[in-house]
Homo-oligomer: A and B are copies of this chain.
Amino acid sequence: MRLTTKGRYAVTAMLDLAIHAGKGPVSLADISERQGISLSYLEQLFAKLRRNELVRSVRGPGGGYQLNREQQDIDVAQVIDAVNESVDATGCGHTGSCHDGNICLTHHLWCDLSSQIHDFLSQISLADLMARNDVRSVAERQERGHMASFEDSLISAKVTA
């Protein structure tokens, strides 16, 4: 089972994209700053998200990324699958050749668990996440933080001028 910061970063970034939708494309630099994820790492992740047609890109100045479908049509499992290439708890990748070409004692247990996790995550869309109170409040705090640092940069610009 593969569920690490990689998948978490991807979901967080997609949610950031959803939150800032409607105001034109969102640059990875913005996401990087808001969510505290390395820009270069985001590039890697979005290459995969794009190959999986979850986002579309706009190049050039003012460009960035946008969701490629409606928010209710993108679920968390799709995002994690896109960057991890599998949400699989078995060691054999469901082939059943866990032990000398035969299935191991616990093969079916891990299959069951895998589908359990996948079901859970595939029932949660970006729209669902957007509606959650905890997400809304964190997004609001991040907006304020962004504004503050924007004002800071104005002030420091004034000082250095």
Within 8 A of B (CB), among A64-119: 76, 89, 91, 99-100, 102-110, 113, 116-117
Known: A106-B15, A117-B113. A100 touches B36 (CB 8 A): yes
Known: A99-B35, A117-B117. A104 touches B1 (CB 8 A): no
Minimum C-beta distance from A10 to chain B (A)? 10
Q: How many residues of A contact B (CB 8 A)?
A: 39
14 A-B pairs, CB-CB below 8 angstroms? Answer: A1-B4, A3-B3, A3-B89, A8-B104, A8-B110, A11-B109, A36-B99, A104-B138, A105-B135, A107-B134, A107-B138, A109-B124, A113-B117, A117-B117
